[in-house]
Copies of this chain bind each other. A is one copy, B any other.
Amino acid sequence: MRELTVNLEERSYPIYIGEGLLTRAGDLLLKHGLSTKSPLLIVTDDRVGPLYLDSLTSTLEASGFNPVSFVVPAGEQSKSLDVFQSIITKALEVGLDRKSAVIALGGGVVGDLAGYVAAAYMRGVRFVQIPTTILAHDSSVGGKVAVNHPKAKNIIGAFHQPELVLYDLDTLKSLPPREVRSGLAEVIKHGLIWDEEFVKWCDDNAERLLALDPEALGYALYKGCSVKAAVVSEDETEQGLRAILNLGHTIGHALEAVAGYNELQHGEAISIGMIGSAMLGVQLGAPIEVYERTRRALGLVGLPTTLPEHLNTDRIMEALMHDKKFGEGKLVFVVPTAIGKVEIRNDIRSEWIFAIVERLKREESWT
């Protein structure tokens, strides 16, 4: 088992990564002082629940806890205020109190939703993350929790740090290959913004990662979480540095909005977005290898590196401008200056982005 700490003074917490951790959940929760007198509320979805809910419940009961569960439909549509209110109703019915904890068992949707319940219920109760996807190594660390409004994603939320993150590698074995690849996009992103050595390591171990080799996967998640933890420790509430975690996300979010989730999963969209950002970096003076190595790293794990041609560039630009409204009128881009190094720029002209989006549709190589 690997362990690392997110340093946030009195809100510091550990991340445990290893095989078989789900069966040790009871012990780990006891070790972290969670109350066995107050009920625990496990939130999961109807895809993950049938696989792991019984065994999690058993191990918690064996340690003297009193867990109850609430299962939501799998998928982004569960991140709504309606589902949020249903979970609060359940919490009231089972008598969740100030010493209780909410446990998220699932991917990013479950983590964000359950985390926002934990942040809001009685103005905040304890929270435990048990991520079951690779993508969630990103969302489960750092305390960003939220639900969606019909008109905007993640617009209703809080910063609410978990007590601990418990990453059982065994739960990743049930992931479909497309979700594995999508999750690796955020892993590689953590290398691209912070750690050149780790990008090399990802290149060299792409095959093992795709095969879900536990040793490789454990190391990759450990490194990814370490970068996330280091950034979050410096800037918990995104006053500055934390924005570097958005590498590829400005373009990526616009692509998601235009393409729809079925055509482009989050990791796929930010893969294309990161390549666009690398193009932008080169245009602003970074060496060409920044683009080439970004493209190579993402391609090696089977992520898309070009944009489906039928996606309309004007519509993508509109979606970008919609985001801009919330950046006080400026487009904000995270731009690589080298592999493992980025800067935040708000002087990017929309014509440049238009050209890059067009280029992403046809680019086979830079030259």
Distance between A210 CB and nearest chain B CB, rounded to angstroms: 34
Which residues of chain B come closer than 8 Å to A120, judged between CB atoms? 120, 156-158
Task: From known contacts A124-B237, A146-B123, infer whether A88 and B155 are also in contact, taking CB-CB under 8 Å.
Answer: yes
The CA of A19 and the CA of B178, in the complex, are separated in Å by 64
User: Which residues of A from 319 to 337 have beta carbons under 8 Å from B?
Assistant: 325-329
- Check if A92 is an interface residue, CB within 8 A of chain B: yes
Distance between A144 CB and nearest chain B CB, rounded to angstroms: 7
Q: Which of A94-102, A163-171, A226-234, A347-355 contacts B (4 or more CB under 8 A)?
A: A94-102
Find out whether the CB atom of B326 lies under 8 angstroms from the CB atom of A85: no
The CA of A99 and the CA of B37, in the complex, are separated in Å by 42
Find out whether the CB atom of A88 lies under 8 angstroms from the CB atom of B149: yes
Find out whether the CB atom of A159 lies under 8 angstroms from the CB atom of B121: no
Find out whether the CB atom of A98 lies under 8 angstroms from the CB atom of B326: yes
Task: From known contacts A124-B158, A157-B123, infer whether A97 and B325 are also in contact, taking CB-CB under 8 Å.
Answer: yes
- Check if A89 is an interface residue, CB within 8 A of chain B: yes
- Oligomer copy total: 2
Mask of A282-303 contacts with B, CB within 8 angstroms, 1/0: 0000000000000000000000
Q: Which residue of B lies closest to A95 (CB)?
A: B325
Distance between A353 CB and nearest chain B CB, rounded to angstroms: 20
- Check if A192 is an interface residue, CB within 8 A of chain B: no
Which residues of chain B come closer than 8 Å to A99, judged between CB atoms? 328
Mask of A208-219 contacts with B, CB within 8 angstroms, 1/0: 000000000000
- Check if A152 is an interface residue, CB within 8 A of chain B: yes
- Check if A122 is an interface residue, CB within 8 A of chain B: yes
Q: Which residue of B lies closest to A326 (CB)?
A: B97
**Contact check: which of B146, B149, B159, B328 meets A89 at CB < 8 Å?**
B149
- Check if A31 is an interface residue, CB within 8 A of chain B: no
Which residues of chain B come closer than 8 Å to A37, judged between CB atoms? 328-329
Distance between A232 CB and nearest chain B CB, rounded to angstroms: 13
Find out whether the CB atom of A97 lies under 8 angstroms from the CB atom of B38: no
The CA of A124 and the CA of B160, in the complex, are separated in Å by 12
User: Which residues of A from 135 to 169 have beta carbons under 8 Å from B?
Assistant: 144, 146, 149, 151-152, 155-159
The CA of A157 and the CA of B158, in the complex, are separated in Å by 11
Which residues of chain B come closer than 8 Å to A92, judged between CB atoms? 149, 151-152, 155
Find out whether the CB atom of A158 lies under 8 angstroms from the CB atom of B155: no
18 A–B contact pairs at CB < 8 A?
A: A37-B328, A81-B81, A81-B84, A81-B85, A88-B155, A88-B156, A92-B149, A95-B325, A97-B325, A98-B328, A99-B328, A119-B158, A120-B156, A120-B157, A122-B157, A123-B237, A124-B237, A158-B158
